[in-house]
Amino acid sequence: AQSVAQPEDQVNVAEGNPLTVKCTYSVSGNPYLFWYVQYPNRGLQFLLKYITGDNLVKGSYGFEAEFNKSQTSFHLKKPSALVSDSALYFCADYRPQENTPLVFGKGTRLSVIA
């Protein structure tokens, strides 16, 4: 079964600086990859997804992610961080051809400091 690794439990970045939250997936093939965000005391919200096509996908709130098949990575990025971006971010891997549920990483807590 597929698995997802988010190597950083915590990422700290200054407001206005670029941010990166890392994600790698473990099984080769054709994954559907997702990023979700969880703001304090709220449910998870979809940010963006990669299914096929352009390796750079753009999502909500100015976030983007780049699918890199050779590195099996799908890092989340934003050119200029906002304090309001502080939240818990989850990467997820989905294989519809296997009819298995989304597998989530353990999450990365992003803190943007003013």
Residues of the shown chain interacting with another protein in the complex, contacts defined by CB under 8 A: 32, 34, 36, 42-46, 49, 51, 90, 94, 96-97, 99-107
What does the alpha-carbon distance between residue 26 and residue 43 come to, in Å, rounded to a whole number? 26
For the chain, the C-alpha Rg in angstroms (whole number) is 14
Which residue, 70 or 97, is less far from another protein as judged by CB?
A: 97
Concatenate the DSSP letters of all residues of 78-91 into one string. Answer: ESS--GGG-EEEEE
Nearer to another protein, 18 or 42 (CB): 42
Q: Which is nearer to another protein, 15 or 86 (CB)?
A: 86
| Residue pair 79/18 in contact by the 8 Å Cβ criterion | yes
Q: How far is the CB of 80 from another protein (least distance, A)?
A: 26
What is the nearest approach in angstroms of another protein to the Cβ of residue 18?
25
